[in-house]
């Protein structure tokens, strides 16, 4: 898995008693680098976790080839990628399993919670059992067994009715929400095109095979000092623009529970230079203020 991701990706592995192995990311897309995955595979490897960073799917064909060659599971961390596509196929349908998030920072939200897509028929039954607290309750409800009992590990993953109702309202407007976010993403892309052309910043890049969902817009500054000064300038003008992940391989728990394959130099570099600009459904005309203040700083310090 990439080190440049949220802790949930690694926690899923650690909680099962396994060891996350962090590999570097592609410097263009910021997604997990297939070449780094291939170099990290050992006889102990069981799965590849592909994080679709910023809503743009990873190179799933290359990762699928590696997974098939070594008989590995391919899991999509599609937390940021609801509605995104890779070669016309929806994120979450590309690997053996796909995980989505409905956290309040995502495009479609319920405050917390998520969803699992299961693309291998042989995994469906166990996923259902794990969801039902380790019981075969679903078989019982379908009349396939005369009583239900504990048959495997599991936990309580079911959302409450209020959360589900709120999520349903969001999902019913998913196309509208995505279109509005993509419009703001495109506005940002256009606003910073000249500054990228001059070499002052770098905008997001993605594979031509991918269609994003407007989840996030980021800029890459020159170095950590430039990034921090940019954030401070925006904050002074009332604009909150945070950096993103502290690489998991350098986190205390990452050192304790995981290991790194390679020096992860791209991850370290990107983490020090990336800043996210505000992008949410009702940002509205305030995006013009964000752009104005960002351009003011970037043009003042050429």
Q: What is the pLDDT of residues 222-269, one digit of tens each?
A: 999 999 999 999 999 999 999 999 999 999 999 999 999 999 999 999
Using one digit for the tens of pLDDT, what is the confidence trace for 171-226? 999 999 999 999 999 999 999 999 999 999 999 999 999 999 999 999 999 999 99
CA 257 from centroid of its chain's CA atoms: 21
Domains of the chain (ranges; CATH) run 7-171 (3.40.640.10), 174-300 (3.90.1150.10)
Question: Quick one: tokens of 75?
Answer: 């899991």
Alpha carbon dihedral 225, 79, 11, 165, in 10-degree steps, equals: 130
Predicted model pTM? 0.95
How is residue 46 written in tokens?
Answer: 């069981």
Spatial CA neighbour of 215 closest among 279, 148, 166, 161: 279
Per-residue pLDDT at 302: 80
pLDDT at 280 (0 to 100): 93
Contact 3, 259 (CB under 8 A): no
H or E element that contains 94: none
State how far Cα 282 lies from the chain centre: 22
Cα dihedral value 223, 202, 3, 83, nearest 10? 150
What distances in angstroms separate CA 300 from CA 230, 262, 269, 275, one per listed residue? 11, 38, 24, 18
Distance CA 82, CA 106 (A): 9
With residue 258 as reference, give the H or E element that holds it.
none
Report the C-alpha gap between 57 and 73 in whole angstroms: 17
Exposed, middle or buried: residue 161 (CB in 10 Å: 0-12, 13-18, 19+)?
Answer: exposed
Q: How many CB atoms lie within 10 A of CB 127?
A: 14
What would the pLDDT profile of 3-51 be if each residue is shown by its tens digit? 999 999 999 999 999 999 999 999 999 999 999 999 999 999 999 999 9
């Amino acid at each position: 898995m990439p080190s440049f991701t949220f802790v949930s990706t690694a926690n899923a592995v650690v909680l099962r008693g396994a060891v996350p192995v962090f590999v570097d990311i592609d410097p263009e897309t910021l997604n997990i680098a297939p070449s780094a995955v291939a170099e990290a595979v050992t006889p102990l490897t069981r799965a590849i976790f592909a994080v679709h960073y910023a809503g743009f799917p990873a190179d799933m064909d290359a990762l699928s080839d590696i997974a098939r060659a070594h008989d590995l599971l391919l899991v999509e961390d599609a937390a940021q990628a609801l509605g995104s596509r890779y070669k016309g196929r929806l994120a979450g349908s590309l690997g053996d399993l796909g995980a989505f998030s409905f956290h309040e920072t995502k495009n479609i939200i319920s405050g917390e919670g998520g969803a699992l897509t299961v693309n291998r028929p042989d995994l469906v039954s166990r996923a259902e059992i794990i969801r039902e607290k380790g019981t075969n309750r679903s078989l019982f409800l379908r009349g396939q067994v005369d009583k239900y009992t504990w048959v495997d590990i599991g936990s309580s993953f079911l959302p409450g009715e209020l959360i589900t109702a709120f999520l349903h309202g969001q999902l019913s407007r998913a196309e509208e929400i995505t279109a509005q976010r993509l419009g703001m993403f495109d506005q940002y892309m256009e606003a910073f095109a000249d500054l990228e052309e001059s070499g002052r910043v770098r905008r997001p890049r993605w594979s031509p095979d991918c269609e994003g969902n407007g989840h996030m817009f980021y800029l890459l500054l020159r170095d950590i000092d430039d990034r921090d000064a940019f954030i401070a300038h925006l904050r002074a003008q009332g604009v909150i623009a945070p950096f993103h992940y502290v690489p998991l391989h350098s986190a205390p728990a990452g050192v304790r529970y995981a290991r790194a394959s390679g020096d992860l130099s791209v991850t370290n570099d990107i983490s020090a230079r990336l800043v996210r600009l505000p992008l949410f459904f009702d940002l509205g005309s305030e995006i013009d203020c964000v752009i104005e203040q960002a351009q003011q700083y970037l043009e003042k310090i050429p």
